[in-house]
Amino acid sequence: MLCLSGLDPSGGAGIQADIETLAALGCHCAPIITALTVQDSRNVSELVSVDPALIGRQMDAILSDMSVVAVKIGLLGSTAVIEQIASELAKHPDIPVILDPVLKASGGTKLANQQVIEAIRKHLLPLTFLITPNASEALRLCPMPNTSNEECAAYIHSKGTPHLLITGGDSPGDSADVVTNQLFNAGKPTQFYNWPRLADNFHGSGCTLAAAISGFIAKGKPVANAVAEAQQYTHSTLEAAQPLGKGQLIPIRVSPT
């Protein structure tokens, strides 16, 4: 697995979430850092993009050397980074790309401006196999105002991404006790997954879920199975999460149960 993600020095989110999740699932992660951040278990205070040309050379080195079976993308610091990643990925159209659009930290800091969102729409959606926005990220990715999840899915499909999982952890929905995730699976009937809402807040839950989906896809699971098993794994990492800092709990991804 090739993972393009940000560095979170708390170790809760970003590339560490990818490496730990993939190791727990028996996959090898080749890590490329897209951005450095200053953050703690509460919120992100700084984001510094990595030089796009350097990211391009790292991708080229790994994709020429290793049999990469899937690519996972997380935090993207700038439009130039997005354009560079897209131009490298376009050379490898057979490798499935799983995109976790990190637009806002759960602590509240915006991690993507309007230009970044437009660059994701234009350059990455046509190359993406599966995207995993939460409900508010899905709304920001769609240019139309007040869209339903179904309208959002139709828009994302029209841009070239066949599979979309909208997670409901950030939206209370019909019941405050339940988190509902929705899979729009390339024209198949929409699947709903209900999970008991855990009482705490977590740092890196979205990264963990997207990395787990990528890992199961890398292992050859069909999308619906990968998505179901990844949610089960992520839920167990959240049930085992620990208050390692003063803010959100950190998921325990290696041997969570």
Interacting residue ranges for ligand PLP, rule: CB under 6 A: 5-6, 8, 13-14, 37, 39, 44, 74-75, 102, 105-107, 203-207
| Beta-carbon count within 10 A of 139 CB | 19
Answer left, alpha or beta for residue 234, where phi above 0 means left and psi between -120 and 50 means alpha.
alpha
Nearest alpha-carbon partner for 139 in 123, 151, 131, 122: 151
Which one, 74 or 133, has the nearer CB to ligand PLP? 74
CB of 96 to ligand PLP, least distance (A): 19
Which one, 44 or 99, has the nearer CB to ligand PLP? 44
CB of 86 to ligand PLP, least distance (A): 19
Which one, 157 or 242, has the nearer CB to ligand PLP? 242
DSSP state of 16: H
Q: State how far the Cα of 38 lies from the Cα of 29, in Å rounded to an integer.
A: 23
- C-alpha of 162 from chain center: 16
| Beta-carbon count within 10 A of 124 CB | 23
- Rg of the Cα trace of the chain? 17
CB of 121 to ligand PLP, least distance (A): 19
- For residue 180, give every residue at least 6 positions away whose Cβ sits within 8 Å of its Cβ, in sequence order, or none: 168, 173, 174, 192, 193, 194, 195
| Beta-carbon count within 10 A of 126 CB | 13
DSSP state of 51: P
CB of 59 to ligand PLP, least distance (A): 18
Find the Cα–Cα–Cα–Cα dihedral 209, 214, 216, 221, rounded to 10°: 120
Which one, 14 or 168, has the nearer CB to ligand PLP? 14
Which one, 6 or 96, has the nearer CB to ligand PLP? 6
CB of 118 to ligand PLP, least distance (A): 20
CB of 105 to ligand PLP, least distance (A): 4
Which one, 44 or 148, has the nearer CB to ligand PLP? 44
Which one, 51 or 150, has the nearer CB to ligand PLP? 51
CB of 158 to ligand PLP, least distance (A): 25
Crossing angle of helices 205-218 and 223-239, in 10° steps, is 140
